[in-house]
Structure 1
C-alpha cells in the first residue's frame, strides 16, 4: 500500500536534503584542502591521505549502518548519521579556526592534523546516510519506479557538484573557513528537518535481526552480496564503474592544467557542465527514459556515453581543447546520470524488500571502496605512464562494465522496461 502523500513528500524532501548534505560535505572541502592545510602541512601524501580518509571510513562502517537501518528503522539511523556529519564537519571547522601557534604546548605538534583526520573520519563513518536515504526511497516506491526515485541521488550529486565548488570558491575568497561554516549550517538544518518531519518508512513487521559481528565487517558484507547470483554481475559492474570514474576524475583538473594550461576558471566551468547535465538527466529525464527503454538498455547506453566522453577528452589538444573537453564532460555527465540510478534499480529489483537497507548499503560500500582505491591508481598512472593514461584506463574498465551488464540480460522476473 502506497504511503499517504504528505508522508511521501516529507520522506522525499528529507532524503533529498540528506543526500545533498552528504555530497556538499565532500565537494565543499575537497577543492579547498590544499589551502586549508597550508598552515599545517604542504606534504602531498598528507593531503592524499586526508582526502581518502573519508571514503575509507565510509566503506568500513556502511555495512553496519545499512544493517542497523533494517533492524531499527530508517529514521533513527538517518538522524544519527546526520548528527555525526554535524560533529565531524564542526570539529574540522573548529580545528582550522584555532590559531595553534598561540598555544605553546600545541604549536608544532601533530595535534591539529590529528583532529583534522578525526573530523574527516567521523564525517566518513556517518556517510552511510546515502545508503539509508536510498533504502527509505525504496520503501516508499514500487519496484518499477525505483530508478526514477533513485534519480534523486543524482540530482543531489549534480547540485553538490554545482554548489560545492562554487560556494567554496566564492566564499573562500572572503574567508577560507567560511565555506566550512556554511556546510555545518546545512548539516544542522538537515538534522532539524529529519527530526521534525521524517516519517518512519520501514515498518516493524519488516525489521530484520542484526547479523553476526563478523558479517558486519565490510568485506564479509560484500562477499555475501557477491555470493548472490542474482546481483553478482551487477555489483561487480557497479564497483568497476566507480573505480574507473573516480580514477580519472581525481586527476582531471590536473590534466586540464598540464595538457592545456587551463586555470581554475575553465576547469571550474567544465565541472559546472557536469553538475548541470547530471541534475537535468537524473532529476527530470530518467523517469520517462526508464519507462520507455528500461534500466538495462539505459545502463548500456549510458556506458557508451561515458566511453565516448573519455575518448573526446583524451584526444583533445591545445587547439581544440575547449570544444572537445566541454562536449566530452557533457557526455560523461549524461552517461553517469543514466548508469548510476539504473544499476542501483536493477540490483534493488532483484532482491526482496526485507534486505534493501543491507543491499543498498553494500552498493554504497562498493562505491566508497572504489572511491578510496581509484584516485591513487589514477594519480599513479598520471605520474608514471602519461597524463592521458587514467582516461584510457577508465575506458578499459568501462568496457569491462559493458561486458558484465550485457551478460546480465534481464530474465522474466526482472523485465527490461
Structure 2
C-alpha cells in the first residue's frame, strides 16, 4: 500500500482497510489508559505520600482538588487547539506534560528533604497542576477515535474508551497497593514509566487524523471560559435542576472519597495494600455496572428510577463506612464501598441520560460538555471542603456532609421538570 493511500485510510477509513487503523487505535487506547491509570495509582496513595510532609485533611483535599481545577480550566482550550492544529501535536504535548508532572511528583517524594521545608509541598502541588493541565488527553484521544470511524462503527470504536477507563480504574489501585509495599514512591515511578511509553507510542505510531481542510479557527476567549458554559446550562429551565444535581453529586462523592484513605489509615491503621484494595473494589464494581449492566437496567426500570435508587445506595454507603467498628472491619468496609460503587455506576450514566433526553439535538454537545465541566468543578471543590471538615469537625463529618448533599440531589432530581414528565409517561 502506498503512503497516500495509507493516509487517506487513516483520515476516512473505508470498511475494507482495517490494518492502518491499528497503530491509531493502539495510540488512542494507551493514551486513554494512561489518563486513568496515572490518576488511579496516585489518588489512593496520597495520604501515605503526604505523611512525611503534611498529614492533615486540608492539605490532602487541596492536593486532590488541584488536579481537577487545572483540568477544569484548561480542557476547553485543549479541545479547541486539537480542532485548530490537529490531534497528534496536542496529544503529544499533553502526554509529555503528564510525564513531567508525574516525574516531578516521583522525584519530590524520593529526595530527602530537611524538616519544615516548604519546597516538597510546593513541588508536589506544581506536579499535580502540570498533570491536570495535561489532562485533556482523554477528550483528544476520543476525538481521534471519532476521526477514524464511520458513524456506523463509532459506537463499537468508542467501546475502547470504556475498556481503557475500566482497566485503568482496576489496574491503578492494584499496582499501587502492591508496589507501595516495596517503596511508597515506587508506584509513581511506574506511572511515570508508563507515561513515557505512551509518549513514545504517540510520537512513533500516531498519525494525524484531523485533515487540514476540516480545521477550525480558535473560538473567542469568552467561549473558552468554562464558567460561562456552566452558567448557561444552569439557567436552562429544562435541565438546570438536573445539572445542579449533577454538580452536587460529584462535589459530595469526590469530597468524601478524597479523605477515605486518610480515614482508613488513621482510624483502622490500614496500610497502602488494604486501602488501595477498597478502590480496587470500586473499580471492579463500577466497570461491571457501566460496562454491562446499565443498558438492560435502563430498559427495565428507566433512568429516573435508577438515578434515585443509585443515590440511595451512595447515601447508604456513606453512612455505613463510619458505622463500621473494629470487628470484621475489612469485609464490612469492602461491602460498603461496593455499595457506593454500585450506586455511582447507576447514577452517573442515568443522570447524564436524563439531561440528554430533555435537550434537542442542537443543544446536546454544549450541555453534555458543560456536564463534564460541572463534574470537574465538583471534583475540585469537594476534596478541600471534605478535608477542612475532617480536620475541624471530626473524621466522620465528611460522610455526614456528603449524605446531606445527596439528599438535596434527590430532591432536585425528583422536582425537575423532566422527571415529572417521565413519571406521567410511565
Same fold (TM > 0.5): yes
Whole-Å Cα distance in 2 between the matches of residues 141 and 300 of structure 1? Answer: 36
Aligned position for 2:411: 403
Whole-Å Cα distance in 2 between the matches of residues 50 and 66 of structure 1? Answer: 25
Aligned position for 2:263: 255
Whole-Å Cα distance in 2 between the matches of residues 386 and 98 of structure 1? Answer: 32
Verify: 1:215 aligned to 2:223, yes or no.
yes
* Equivalent of 1:19 in 25, 32, 49: 32
Compute the TM-score of the two structures, normalised by the length of structure 2: 0.76
Aligned position for 2:380: 372
Whole-Å Cα distance in 1 between the matches of residues 117 and 266 of structure 2? Answer: 35
Aligned position for 1:58: 71
Name the SS for the 1:387 alignment partner. coil
Verify: 1:283 aligned to 2:291, yes or no.
yes
* Equivalent of 2:42 in 18, 25, 29: 29
Verify: 1:304 aligned to 2:316, yes or no.
no
Verify: 1:85 aligned to 2:98, yes or no.
yes
Whole-Å Cα distance in 2 between the matches of residues 110 and 382 of structure 1? Answer: 23
Whole-Å Cα distance in 2 between the matches of residues 160 and 301 of structure 1? Answer: 27
Q: Matched residue pairs, number?
A: 405
Task: Give 1:249 deviation, angstroms.
Answer: 1.1
Task: Give 1:124 deviation, angstroms.
Answer: 0.8
Residues 351-362 of structure 1: pairs in structure 2 closer than 5 A: 352=361, 356=365, 361-362=369-370
Task: Give 1:156 deviation, angstroms.
Answer: 4.5
Higher mean C-alpha deviation, range 54-63 or range 43-52: 43-52
Instruction: Provide closer, same or farther for how the CA distance between residues 9 and 161 of structure 1 changes in structure 2, counting only shifts above 3 A.
Output: same
Whole-Å Cα distance in 2 between the matches of residues 99 and 194 of structure 1? Answer: 34
Q: What does the per-residue CA deviation read over 1:283-326, in whole Å, with 9 as the maximum and x for residues that have no partner?
A: 33334444555545443333233233334334433446455433
Name the SS for the 1:174 alignment partner. coil
* Equivalent of 1:316 in 309, 317, 324: 324
Instruction: Provide closer, same or farther for how the CA distance between residues 141 and 263 of structure 1 changes in structure 2, counting only shifts above 3 A.
Output: farther
Instruction: Provide closer, same or farther for how the CA distance between residues 142 and 360 of structure 1 changes in structure 2, counting only shifts above 3 A.
Output: farther
Ranges in structure 2 where 5+ consecutive residues have no aligned partner: 1-11
Higher mean C-alpha deviation, range 396-405 or range 133-142: 133-142
Task: Give 1:35 deviation, angstroms.
Answer: 5.2
Q: Is the 8 A contact 1:56 1:369 kept in 2?
A: yes
Q: Is the 8 A contact 1:302 1:338 kept in 2?
A: yes
Instruction: Provide closer, same or farther for how the CA distance between residues 204 and 391 of structure 1 changes in structure 2, counting only shifts above 3 A.
Output: farther
Whole-Å Cα distance in 2 between the matches of residues 216 and 308 of structure 1? Answer: 38
Name the SS for the 2:418 alignment partner. coil
Residues 10-409 of structure 1: pairs in structure 2 closer than 5 A: 14-33=27-46, 36=49, 41-42=53-54, 44=56, 46-72=59-85, 74-97=87-110, 113-134=121-142, 156-195=164-203, 209-257=217-265, 262=270, 264-290=272-298, 292-319=300-327, 321-347=329-355, 350=359, 352=361, 356=365, 361-406=369-414, 407=416, 409=418
Q: Is the 8 A contact 1:66 1:361 kept in 2?
A: no
Instruction: Provide closer, same or farther for how the CA distance between residues 389 and 51 of structure 1 changes in structure 2, counting only shifts above 3 A.
Output: closer
Q: What does the per-residue CA deviation read over 1:248-288, in whole Å, with 9 as the maximum and x for residues that have no partner?
A: 11222343455556555543433222121112222333344
Whole-Å Cα distance in 2 between the matches of residues 108 and 319 of structure 1? Answer: 38
Q: Is the 8 A contact 2:177 2:272 kept in 1?
A: no
Whole-Å Cα distance in 1 between the matches of residues 299 and 157 of structure 2? Answer: 13
Whole-Å Cα distance in 1 between the matches of residues 305 and 206 of structure 2? Answer: 34
Instruction: Provide closer, same or farther for how the CA distance between residues 38 and 322 of structure 1 changes in structure 2, counting only shifts above 3 A.
Output: closer
Task: Give 1:351 deviation, angstroms.
Answer: 6.1
Compute the TM-score of the two structures, normalised by the length of structure 1: 0.77
Whole-Å Cα distance in 2 between the matches of residues 47 and 117 of structure 1? Answer: 10
Whole-Å Cα distance in 2 between the matches of residues 371 and 95 of structure 1? Answer: 24
Q: CA RMSD in A?
A: 4.2
